[in-house]
Amino acid sequence: MKEQIKQIEENALQEIKSAKDLKELNDQRVKYLGKKGELTVVLRGMGSLSPEERPVIGSLVNQVRDELEKEIQGKEAELKREELNHKLQTETIDVTEPSKKIEIGSVHPVTSINKEIEDIFIGLGYEVADGPEVELAIYNFDKLNTPEDHPARDSQDTFYITDDIVLRSQTSPVQARVMESKKPPIRIICPGAVYRSDSVDSTHSPVFHQIEGLVIDKNITMADLKGTLEVFAKKCLGENTKIRFRPHHFPFTEPSAEVDVSCFVCGGKGCKTCKGEGWIELLGCGMVHPNVLRNCGIDPEEYSGFAFGCGAERIAMAKYGIDDMRLLFENDVRFLKQF
Ligand code: DAH
């Protein structure tokens, strides 16, 4: 039996030494030391030995097992080291290799117009205000002097979530929310997305962006409105820009007006951009209707104010010479990169 153990020891040592990888080494561990391994089988067979032989053989087997275990551990460490070295050599990173190009986007023209207009008004002492796009009909309409039977509330014009909740069709409800939550003086500008159930064409989209302005204080007059919009138009579209007011109607302002700017491409002579008119429509505005002030808890005997609202896409299209609104929503990188 001693002979047999010696033979096992010799074979095992040789095989362990020549194991090429961790898997092979593990196979050998199982082959010699596992439950059905060669050395274990010898231990099991000790029952047939004489009582004198048993301890001798037992301790020999244990000795060989300890030796093999140590040998396997050593070999394992060696194989792991080799594997790591191999990995380090084969998986080195070539830092000189040109990297994949990361495409960096550009600021969307509507975003940059918004930013530009915000900056102009922040410079005039306005704050930027925000409101929900899913809005109560009360704020989108009623408080803005647009009662239940007003045509602007037609379900064909507006997306209704329920009878009382709409996707806001204008940024004007932010006015009402701010007036309710703040005491005058109020000077705000509110940019944001608005929704209307319009079909898509070169000048319409069911979602677009507006920028709303509101000033409420004592003794605010139409002269303040005109002066403010003139500064705005010159800063946004160029110092030579002229503005003109045309009478109009909005439920939430009285009097109301639409404002045109002299064409900043031809200077007013008439060209493609202004469609030969010399003027480009810019925004709607007016003096805040006393009913609106009252609806929002402000005394119209004490305070007055003006408001205006314009479409960001319209300004971007005029300013950058874009002739189709769809280009602003399609997000074609070749188009967007130009701005
Ligand atoms: N809310 C109007 C619209 O969507 C734009 C507008 C006009 C806003 C006059 C105003 C305003 O605040 O005073 O057509």
Separation of CA 204 and ligand 1 centre (Å): 17
The band of 286, judged by pLDDT with boundaries at 50, 70 and 90, is very high
Mutate to test the pocket of ligand 1, among 121, 168, 170 (most ligand atoms within 8 A of CB): 170
Most confident by average pLDDT, 28-37, 60-69, 89-98, 174-183:
174-183
Show the CA angle centred on residue 177, arms to residues 142 and 218, nearest 5°.
100
Q: Which atom of ligand 1 is nearest to the CA of 286?
A: 13
Residues 6+ away with beta carbon under 8 Å from 198: 204, 205, 206
Residue 10 is assigned to a ligand binding site: no
pLDDT at residue 261, rounded to an integer: 93
Examine the pLDDT at 37 and tell me if it is beyond 90: no
- Report the chain's mean pLDDT, rounded to a whole number: 92
How buried is 188 (Cβ within 10 angstroms: 0-12 exposed, 13-18 middle, 19+ buried)? buried
CB 184 within 8 A of CB 292: no
Q: Which two tokens stand for residue 118?
A: 């915000």
Residue 195 pLDDT exceeds 90: yes
Cα separation, 73 vs 65, in Å, equals: 12
Query: Does position 333 have pLDDT exceeding 80, yes or no?
Result: yes
Ligand 1: centre distance to CA 144 (Å): 10
Q: Given this model, what pLDDT does residue 256 score?
A: 97
From the CB of 311, is ligand 1 less than 6 Å away?
Answer: no
Q: Which two tokens stand for residue 124?
A: 């005039």
Residue with CA nearest ligand 1 atom 5: 309
Distance in Å, CA 171 to ligand 1 centroid = 8
CB of 283 closer than 8 Å to CB of 258: yes
H or E element: which one contains 94?
none
pLDDT tens-digit map of 231-263: 999 999 999 999 999 999 999 999 999 999 998
If you average pLDDT over residues 150-168, what whole number do you get? Answer: 89
- Whether the CB-CB separation of 143 and 296 falls below 8 Å is answered with yes
pTM of the model: 0.71
Residue 149 pLDDT exceeds 80? yes
Ligand 1 close to Cβ of residue 284 (< 6 A): yes
| CA distance linking residue 32 with residue 68, whole number of Å | 9
Name the residue of 126, 250, 253 whose CB sits within 8 Å of the most ligand 1 atoms, as the mutation to test its pocket. Answer: 250
Q: Whose structure tokens read 């005039």? A: 124
Number of C-beta neighbours around residue 313 at 10 A: 23
Position 91 scores a pLDDT of 84
* Cβ(260) – ligand 1 distance below 6 Å: no
Identify the pLDDT of residue 154.
Answer: 83
Q: Does the C-beta of 146 come closer than 6 Å to ligand 1? A: no
Tokens of 147: 């009662």
245 burial class (0-12, 13-18, 19+ CB within 10 angstroms)? Answer: middle
Return the percentage of the chain with pLDDT > 70, whole number. 100
Tokens in use for 5? 């153990």
Closest protein CA for atom 8 of ligand 1: 309
**pLDDT at residue 35 greater than cutoff 90:** no
The Å distance, Cα 338 to ligand 1 centre, comes to: 30
Digit-coded pLDDT (tens) for 297-314: 999 999 999 999 999 999
Per-residue pLDDT, averaged over 96-116, amounts to: 90
What integer pLDDT is reported at residue 156 of this predicted model?
75
Best residue among 212, 254, 292 to mutate for probing ligand 1, ranked by most atoms within 8 Å of CB: 212
- State percent of the chain over pLDDT 90: 57
pLDDT of 207 over the 80 cut: yes
Which numbered atom of ligand 1 lies nearest the CA of 171?
1
